[in-house]
A and B are shown apart, each in its own frame.
Chain A
């Protein structure tokens, strides 16, 4: 499953982040690494991007970028 498949209100742990188009660095900056808990908190009116709660900050990520972020273990 990749991060974009997460629905509003769902939480998960990050499994792996693949290096692609330099986004990995930016994800590192915001603290998105393996085993980080991420919650989906919003969707743009047009369906893309989605907003995620990452370490108490809300970050919008596009579908295309999320495809490189694999998730595991939904947290209840």
Chain B
């Protein structure tokens, strides 16, 4: 029976912490080259020959001063959960700032291991880290790693297995008056805490009067701890001493941080060797990607390119899949007839469940399987923060935060993910702006639908896929423009305020690990999203088939509902069926199209293949025109968030009021936009 060891994984944001965590535990935390991907503590396990490890991936932070919720989570874990060891993951290409966190962690925890990650990238930039010297200076174990490499992981585990107790632990020396004050307080604290919390660190925090800590201390050390006369009088004495030396509370915090920063600076200067051209490639790329002339065109180009590749490559596998499903349908149908299944069961399963499923898979899977890896490549390379950099000014003029651009990018994958991602925005008001408008970026559930409609109704001829991509790009740009307008509108009405201060890190560019990206994005994202869509599509298919086949007064329930909604749908340039499909598509946008198709099919048109041409015929037969197509695209772009997004918004805002706003706002917007479009169109 081996011992259980809990190891916390700490580190600055975007240093490859999640990559190491995944490699260690075989888990699939999503990684990306920007600050703030990990927002909760994730837990994973690893069994070495000596120990059973429990790894806890705590949020990436720059410091443990508890200025933000993530920092508080990280600090509280390190301080009060008493992990057996803490691995602080550092970026070898900018070690100095990472050491800041190392030193702060060392102040709290006894068993720290420094993992200098991204050694390969440092080497490529001609930066060398003297690991032995670093180990000597810090007095803790230091391991150099290359995130995803097996060898790195093993050497990290090896170091953990050795479980050395550090003797020459670096102790930070503060300016004289502070040290004297600590000398007064520290022994008293030590006396009353039974060694389960670092007395020096706690003394510092008490002198700083850190309010975020008060509750934690009370629950951890007992309510009476801060009331203890012994401690109270020592604290008072220490504070008086600081006051007589003219040190205020603010000075104190600054002085503590300054001391740590300077210590990090002096350690770095003795362990790092770099050439003056170390970061020159990054600067060169930045001068292109953020250039005044090319910055914006390149952004559009990348996005357009991704769409173009997606659309032109997706056609073929889509066709293939749909042929396969048609074949399968015939076989299944024959099989069921052979087994003597009653006709209602046959229709219900084949025409209801199977058809819906096969649509979702054949139309959704190929674009997703192409789009996700491409987008992940862009994400991994470090380009996305540059978008936030380029777009900051427009966001600022909407009184919002430039990081909203990043959350919008996440929205392309899934709006629920985008909404969660809004946590990277510190100001509460700006975060709400980003959450409420995230839905205006079409997610992966929606844009295959939009692509399908564009290809069916708006693009013909030789350059179809290029044209489709451009049109999709136009739709996205429309969504982005709407985001700005809505953000501005909100910021001058219900969410008034001035933009808060803003620091955005532009991480070094990294060469994406292409095979890994492809495998990860297909297995983790594509199949995940598809799985969710399929699990909604099957019951939805059944439900809609039942609605289409239960007759009341000579017409099916579906027809009743559709004709009830029809007048309103017509106002929007849609029809009752489309509107009903959007309403029933609330659980997942992916099923909107299959519902429309099934409802139309039920009316007696077209019975076989689900290819786009056959589909177009079906839609035209049901009264679709180009205007209908455009209206559907507009409605799809602007309408209410899906159920998953709504739940996520509720969770993130913690408020029913804002959740209601997040649903009502796009609903009203979509209705207005479609009505105006159809009104204007009728004028011509």
Residues of A within 8 A of B (CB): 19-23, 25-31, 33-34, 41-49, 51, 53, 55-62, 64-65
Contacts and interface: CB of A to CB of B under 8 A. Distances in A.
A44 B392 contact: yes
Contact of B93 (A30, A47, A56): A56
Contacts of A31: 96-97, 100, 261, 264-265
Most buried by B among A23, A30, A47, A61: A30
Interface in B64-109: 65, 67, 93-97, 100
A34 B287 CA distance: 28
B504 interface: yes
12 contacts: A22-B501, A25-B65, A28-B257, A42-B290, A44-B392, A45-B296, A48-B393, A51-B389, A57-B97, A60-B503, A60-B504, A61-B503
A5 to B, nearest CB: 18
A59 B13 CA distance: 13
A73 B402 CA distance: 31
B67 A29 contact: yes
B205 interface: no
Contacts of B506: 42, 51, 58-60
Given A31-B261, A42-B286, A23 B389 contact: no
Nearest to B505: A59
Nearest to B93: A56
B139 interface: no
Interface in B402-433: 402
B499 to A, nearest CB: 7
A26 B35 CA distance: 14
A30 B506 CA distance: 13
Contact of B504 (A28, A49, A53): A49
B254 interface: yes
B500 A22 contact: yes
Contact of A59 (B283, B501, B504): B504
Nearest to B278: A56
A38 to B, nearest CB: 13
Interface residues of B, number: 45
B390 A45 contact: yes
A22 B292 CA distance: 30
A65 B502 contact: yes
A62 B296 contact: no
B313 to A, nearest CB: 31
B650 interface: no
B392 A53 contact: no
Contact of B396 (A19, A23, A26, A62): A62
B94 A57 contact: yes
Interface string B247-284: 00010001001100100110000000000000100110
Given A31-B96, A51-B389, A53-B279, A46 B394 contact: yes
Given A28-B257, A30-B97, A20 B501 contact: yes
Contacts of A62: 392, 396, 499, 501-502
A74 to B, nearest CB: 17
Given A43-B290, A57-B505, A21 B393 contact: no
Interface string B347-373: 000000000000000000000000000
Contacts of B499: 62, 64
A42 B287 contact: yes
Interface string B40-74: 00000000000000000000001101010000000
B291 interface: yes
B295 interface: yes
Contacts of B392: 44, 46, 48-49, 60, 62
Contacts of A33: 254, 257-258, 261
Contacts of A28: 63, 65, 254, 257, 261
Contacts of B287: 42
Given A51-B290, A51-B506, A21 B501 contact: yes
A62 B502 CA distance: 7
Contacts of A46: 390, 392-394
B261 A23 contact: no
A23 B504 contact: no
Most buried by A among B95, B257, B264: B257
B501 A65 contact: yes
Contacts of B261: 28, 31, 33
B383 to A, nearest CB: 14
Nearest to A35: B262
A58 to B, nearest CB: 4
Contacts of A53: 279
Interface string B590-608: 0000000000000000000
Contacts of A26: 67, 501, 503
B485 to A, nearest CB: 18
A58 B100 CA distance: 16
A29 B501 contact: no
Contacts of A23: 501, 503
A28 B255 CA distance: 11
B505 A29 contact: no
A52 to B, nearest CB: 10
A60 B505 CA distance: 6
Contacts of B254: 28, 33
Contacts of B393: 44, 46-49
Given A21-B500, A43-B290, A55 B258 contact: no
